Amino acid sequence: MKKRTYAFATLLIFASISCSTTPDNKESANTETAASTDEWISLFDGESTKGWRGYNSETLPESWVVEAGTLKSLGQGGDIGGDIVYGAREFENFELYIEWKISTAGNSGILYHVQEGEKYESPYETAPEYQLLDDIGYPDPLEDWQKLAADYAMYVAPADKPIKPAGEWNTSRIIFTPEKVSYFLNGIKVVEFVPWSEDWHKRRKEGKWKDYEDYGKEKTGLICLQDHGSFIWFKNIKIKEL
């Protein structure tokens, strides 16, 4: 009996040590992993485009199709036009999870807090963007703020981020609260910032968004997937409110 008790206690100590050594930037089963499935809202059922429509439109562009359980862009969009939004509801504070793969030299993005109206031609005029890009195969020189997993034109992802080549599935996760925003790529935290902070406003006023008066201003809005002229596939798109 004493031997069994000792072995069990040893096992508990070992388990405790193992759990405490998870690096801060990795997804931990005890901290920042997904919650139980009943807390999530599925944004794509793998069979239909229910809930999705074109930006500033009532219908879905023909350049988006359901293919083999994925929501696929046929790459017919550009700087303006072709983007889609989940129009069924807006989200404020949230955790968004999505799986995706992109074609060689592909360019796309995930945007949130998107605003619509005659005033705007494109979602990026108002919305922060988690950049999706084939860093490996992209032919043109890029600024760091244009590369994969950056908060586009605002916060840069590190050079040692876990990149997968074009055609392979990736996971991305965005956790947004007024206190902190975190971007994850393939299970690793790659970007973190405080929205509307002094640093955030400085970057906004001095960079690409200085002439976009409504960029990042709203605290709630639509989720958007970008068609920037590349084939890209999405699946397992889900969100929970925080």
Stretch 105-120: mean pLDDT: 97
CA 98 to chain centre: 7
**Is the predicted pLDDT of residue 66 greater than 50, yes or no?**
yes
pLDDT of residue 76: 84
In the predicted structure, residue 170 carries a pLDDT above the cut 50: yes
Residue 79 or residue 210, greater confidence: 210
DSSP tag of 26:
B
> Strands across the sheet with 221-225, in order?
52-54, 84-91, 221-225, 107-114, 129-133
Per-residue pLDDT for 206 more than 80? yes
Residue 81: its pLDDT value, please? Answer: 74
**In sequence order, what are the residues at sequence separation of 6 or more whose Cβ sits closer than 8 angstroms to the Cβ of residue 35?**
95, 240
**Does position 8 have pLDDT exceeding 60, yes or no?**
no
* Mean pLDDT, all residues of the chain: 87
**What number is the average pLDDT over the span 63-79?**
90
Instruction: Identify which has the larger pLDDT, 17 or 86.
Output: 86
pLDDT in tens, 18-60: 333 333 455 533 334 444 456 999 999 999 999 999 999 999 9
pLDDT: which is higher, 4 or 217: 217
Considering only CA atoms, which of 38, 46, 39 is closest in space to residue 234? 46
Predicted TM-score of the model (pTM): 0.84
As a whole number of angstroms, the distance between CA 92 and CA 178 comes to 9
